[in-house]
Structure 1
Amino acid sequence: MRLTKLFLPLFITCLPYTLSANEEFAPELPEAIQEIYPTVMNKQIWVAGGISTELSESTGKMTEKVHFWSPDYATWQSAPSLPEGRHHTYLIAVENKLFAFGGFVNTQGQWTNSRDVLMLDKGAKAWQKVARLPFALSETVGAVLDGKVHLVGGRSPSNEQNGQWQHSLDKAEHLVFNPNNYEFAKAAPLPFARNSAATVQVNGRWFVLGGRTVGGEPLKDVLEYVPEQDQWLTHPALPKGRAGHAAAAIDNMIYIFGGEHNQTVDSEIFKYDVLKKQWHKVTTWLAPRHGLGAVTLNNQIWLIGGAKAVGLSQTTNELTSAHELLNKR
C-alpha cells in the first residue's frame, strides 16, 4: 500500500487493499455528512466538515473532521480537524495545500456565514487562518486556474444580521485568490447571482451549472469562464433546473447528479457533451441524494455523502462509484 508522506505521523497504519480489475471498492465515510465540497489532492479524495441530523446539537449538528481516501486504502484516513465544525465551506487543493473558504459555523445555535480562509499545508499538524474573504460567504463554487483559486456565487448576509435564511443575499461576485500571498482580486462576475450551483473543470475549462436564488426557482443556465477574455460564455441550458447538486467529468462529458427542489430529490442523471454541446439523459437514479460531493479520480467518478430526503434527514455516509450507475443499459 502507498502511504502519502502528508500527515504520516498522525495516522494509525491501515490495512492494505488491492483492487481487482472489475472491483469498485468504496468504504463508508466515518460519519454521515452532507453539504460538502470534496476535492482531489495527491490522488486522494478529501472531505472537510459537513452537517447531519446524526451529529451533536451542541455543535449545531456540524462536524470539524477532515478525512481522505484513495483506492489504495481500506478505510478513510484522518487528517487535522478544522478549527470548528462548519458546512458549505468550499474545499479546494492547490498543489500540496488545502484551502477551505467560508461556510457556515455555529453561533449560539444559528448558522452564521464565515469570512475565514483556512489552509492546511503539507506536513502541518493544524489548519491556519491565513486570510479573510472580502465578505462572509457560503455555498460558493470554484476552480484553480493558472495557479489561482477562482470563487463565484454563493450566499452572504444582506445586512448586519447573519444567521437566518431570510438574512441571506445571493452573490454574483467573482473572487480570485492568490495562494502565495493570500490576497484577493476581482474578475468578471456571473451574469446572474446564485447559490448552491455545481462546478466542474473539463480539460482546463471551467463550468458553473445551475444553482438557485433565495426564495427562487432552481436555475438551468450553464456558464463557462474564459480567463483570456475575462468573460462568461453561455452553453445549452440544463434540461431541468438544479440546486444542491454535484457535477463531475470524464473525458469531455459532464455528469450531473442529485439536487433538491419542492420536497423532492432529483433522480434524473444527465450528461453534457462539451464538444457537441448536447445534453442527454443517462438514467434514473433509484437512490438519489442532494448536498453530495462528486469528484473524478483515476478516470472514475465517486459520489460522496449527501442526503436521500430534502433537508437534513436521511443523511448518508456513502461513498459510491458511479461506474455501474452510468453504464446501465
Structure 2
Amino acid sequence: MENDAQLIRRILSGDDDAFNTLVQRHQRGVHALAWRKVSDFHYAEEITQDTFLQAYKKLSTLKNPNQFAGWLYVIANRLCINWLQRHKPAMQSLEDTPMEEIEESSYAHYTSKQREAEDTEHRYEIVQKLLSKLPESERTVMTLHYLGEMTAKEISKFLGVSVNTITNRLWRARKRLREDQELLVQEVLGGAQFPANLTENIMRQVADLKPTPPPVAKPLLPWGALGVATLLVTMLLGATNQYLARFQKPYSFEAVAEPTVEIVDTAILLDIDAKPDLRNQVGRPASTDKNIEAGLQAAETPLVSDTQRNSLGPATLQWTRKADMPTSRTGFATSVVNGKVFVIGGNIQLKRDEFGDISTSTVEMYDPKTDTWERKSDMPTARSGVSVSVVDGKIYAIGGSKTKTIQVPRGSSFESEELATVEMYDPVTDTWTQKADMPTPKKTMTCVVNGKIYAIGGWLTTNEKPHLGTVEVYDPGTNTWAKAQSMNCARCSAAIGVVNGEIYAIGGLGSHPIQDQSDLYLSNVEVFNPKTNQWQEKTEMPAPKALHTASVIDGKIYVIGGYFKKDSEFKKLSTIEIYDPATDRWTQASVMPIGKWGHKTEVIDGQIYIFGGGPVTSVQVYDPR
C-alpha cells in the first residue's frame, strides 16, 4: 500500500485518484476531530470537506509529504477555531444535564435500539458531558479513537506526538471514566453513522479545482548586485593566496541573498464549551419501493465556510452565506413581498420530556439588502406545513396542520390534525385577517396564476388514501373557492413551479398501489393549463425525491435538494436539476454545499435564497449566473 508521500507525488503529477485514496484514509480522523471541536455532526461534515479542499489546493506548499497527517490536523483545527469564533448559536447547554443524571442512569437504558430521535440526541449530549470531564488532550484522543476509528499509531501521526503518549492518554481517559461510562462513549461514538457520500462529494468539488502551483523562486540577487558580485569574484580569482587567506568564508553562489521567513501553522487547543445543536425531524416515516432506484444522485455534500462567513465553497463563487434565521423550525413557509422574505409558521422543538403543541405562529421578515431579520405579528393560527402565496402584495397562509408531541410507552410520538384555515397578512399594516376556509382541510402546495391561488394536491391523514390529487382554486377578489381538474397522480411533499401561466407539479410522495406498503417517491412531472383545465405528463426528473423546492429563473425551473429513502437509508440530496419547459429536458447544475430537505427557496434579483432545511437555521444564496 502506498504511503502518503507517494500518493502526494502522484497527485501533484495530476492523478486525482490518489487524492481519493488520501481522503478515504484520513476522513474519519478529520471528521472526529471536527465533531470534538464543534459538537455538531452536521457542521463537522462541513469542516471535514473544507479541510480536504484546502489541503488539495495547497498540497504543493507542503514541504514534507511524510507529515501530511499532521498538516491536515493543523488545517482542520484552524477551521474549527474559525467556526467557533463565528458561531455562537442559541443551543441547549450541556450544563443543563446534571452529572447526577449520568451517574444514576443505567447503561441498559442506552442500549435500546428502538429509542426515539430525541433519545439519540440526548445520548450524544450525555457523551459530550462525559467527555467534558476529561482534559482536552484526553477527550480529543478518545474521540479520534472511537469516532474516528483510529489506532494509537494513526492518532500519533495525526497529532504529531509519540505513540506512547497517545496510549497513556487513552489509558488515563479510561481510568477517569467508570466502565459503564466508557462503554456508553464507545457505543455512541462507535455507532455514529459516517456520511456515506463524503468522499464522493469532496472529489466532485476537487474536479473543479487545481492545486496551487509550487512557488517560483525569486532571483537571489538583483541585477545590480549580481554585477558587483561578478566583479568581486573576478578580483578574487586573480588575487594571490596571501589575499585569499584574509577571507574567512569565501563567497558562494549557493548562499541565500535574502532572508527566508517560513510561517508554520501550529495546533492551538481551546477549552471552549461547544453546545450541540438539538434537532427534531417531524414527519411520517416512509420508504421507497425497490423498483424506484434509477438515476438517484444522493449528494450529501457538507457545507464549506471561510473566516469571513460569506463563502460556502472554494470550488465555486456561486454560493454565499447570509444571516441565520432567528428561529429554528421545520415545516415553515416563505414568501416574498417588495423584495423582503417572510418566514411563517412551522414546528419548533420542545425540551426533552416535554409534551404538547409544537406548531408555531411566529413570523419573521428577512431583508436581503441589510442581511437582517425582524420579528412581525404572529399568525393567528399556529401551524406547520402551511403553504403561502402572494396576491396584490398580501400573503395568504393556507392549510397546514396543528402538531403536538404525545407520550407513548416507548417514548414520544407526533399527532397532527390538518386544517382548512386561510388567513391573509398585510405587510404594510402588519395585521392578519381571516378568510374563507378551503373546502378540504389539508397540507397542500399553492401557487398563483392570473391573481388566483391554486391549492394542488397535498395530505389528509383521515383519508383512506391520504395523498391527494385534488385541485382547489381560491379567488381573493371574491373570497370564494372553486374546483379544478385533479392531477393524474395524487401526491404530497412535491415542488410546484409556474412558467408562462402553466403549473408544473414535480416529484413528491405518492400512494403505493399495494395497500399497507410504504409511500412511493415520485420522479414524474405533470403540467396544468388553467385555460384548458387539463393536466399533461412531461419528462420525468432524473431522480425521485420529496420535500424539494422549485424556483423559476428565466423560464427555467431549478429543482433543489430533497430527500430519498431506500432500504431504511435516508439520503439528503444536494442536487440542483434544471428543467426547461421549452425543450422538455432536464440538465444537472452545480450541487449545493450540503444536502437539504424541507427547506424553502425564493428568487430575488436573479439569485435563489435557500432557507433552512434538515432542520437548519442557515440561509444560503445560489447565483446561477
Q: Is TM-score (shorter-chain normalized) higher than 0.5? A: yes
1:171 to 455, 468, 486: 468
Aligned to 2:509, the other structure's residue is in SS state coil
Partner of 1:299: 606
Partner of 2:462: 158
Partner of 2:584: 277
Q: Could you list the runs of 5+ residues in structure 1 that have no partner in the other structure?
A: 1-21, 160-166, 308-314
CA contact (8 A) 2:456 2:471 kept: yes
1:119 to 424, 437, 454: 424
2:622 to 310, 315, 322: 322
Q: Does 1:259 align with 2:556?
A: no
Partner of 2:485: 188
Partner of 1:31: 327
CA contact (8 A) 1:87 1:104 kept: yes
Q: Does 1:95 align with 2:402?
A: no
- Shift of residue 317, structure 1, vs aligned partner: 0.7
One-letter code of the match for 1:230? N
Q: Does 1:149 align with 2:477?
A: no
User: C-alpha deviations, 1:254-292, integer Å up to 9, x for none?
Assistant: 111111221111232211122222111223334111001
The change in CA–CA distance for 1:222 and 1:196 in structure 2 (over 3 A counts) is same
Determine the C-alpha separation between the residues in 1 that align with 2:559 and 2:503: 15
Normalising by structure 1, what TM-score? 0.81
Q: Does 1:66 align with 2:66?
A: no
- Shift of residue 205, structure 1, vs aligned partner: 3.2
Determine the C-alpha separation between the residues in 2 that align with 1:80 and 1:52: 18
Q: Does 1:132 align with 2:437?
A: yes
Partner of 2:503: 206
Determine the C-alpha separation between the residues in 2 that align with 1:54 and 1:28: 20
Determine the C-alpha separation between the residues in 1 that align with 2:549 and 2:491: 15
Partner of 1:8: none
Which structure's residues are more often strand, by fraction? 1
Aligned to 2:603, the other structure's residue is in SS state strand
- Shift of residue 59, structure 1, vs aligned partner: 5.6
- Shift of residue 320, structure 1, vs aligned partner: 0.7
Determine the C-alpha separation between the residues in 2 that align with 1:113 and 1:55: 24
Determine the C-alpha separation between the residues in 2 that align with 1:238 and 1:54: 37
Q: Does 1:75 align with 2:372?
A: yes
Aligned to 1:141, the other structure's residue is in SS state strand
CA contact (8 A) 1:65 1:81 kept: yes
One-letter code of the match for 1:306? G
Does 204-213 or 193-202 show the bigger shift?
204-213
- Shift of residue 107, structure 1, vs aligned partner: 5.6
One-letter code of the match for 2:384? H
Q: Could you list the runs of 5+ residues in structure 2 that have no partner in the other structure?
A: 1-317, 407-414, 512-517
Partner of 2:90: none
Moved over 6 A (4+): none
- Shift of residue 63, structure 1, vs aligned partner: 2.1
User: C-alpha deviations, 1:162-191, integer Å up to 9, x for none?
Assistant: xxxxx7611111100011222100111111
- Shift of residue 108, structure 1, vs aligned partner: 7.3
Larger RCO: 1 or 2 (CA < 8 Å, sep 6+): 1
CA contact (8 A) 1:260 1:290 kept: yes
Q: Does 1:50 align with 2:346?
A: yes
Does 240-249 or 108-117 show the bigger shift?
108-117
Partner of 1:234: 537
- Percent identity reads 25
Determine the C-alpha separation between the residues in 1 that align with 2:587 and 2:350: 36
CA contact (8 A) 2:498 2:504 kept: yes
CA contact (8 A) 1:249 1:301 kept: no
Determine the C-alpha separation between the residues in 2 that align with 1:201 and 1:155: 21
Determine the C-alpha separation between the residues in 2 that align with 1:279 and 1:54: 41
User: C-alpha deviations, 1:49-71, integer Å up to 9, x for none?
Assistant: 11243689556333211122232
- Shift of residue 234, structure 1, vs aligned partner: 1.8
Aligned to 1:39, the other structure's residue is in SS state strand
- Shift of residue 202, structure 1, vs aligned partner: 2.6
Counting matched residue pairs gives 290
CA root-mean-square deviation? 2.4
User: C-alpha deviations, 1:28-47, integer Å up to 9, x for none?
Assistant: 11112222331222222221
One-letter code of the match for 1:173? T
Partner of 1:16: none
Does 26-35 or 56-65 show the bigger shift?
56-65
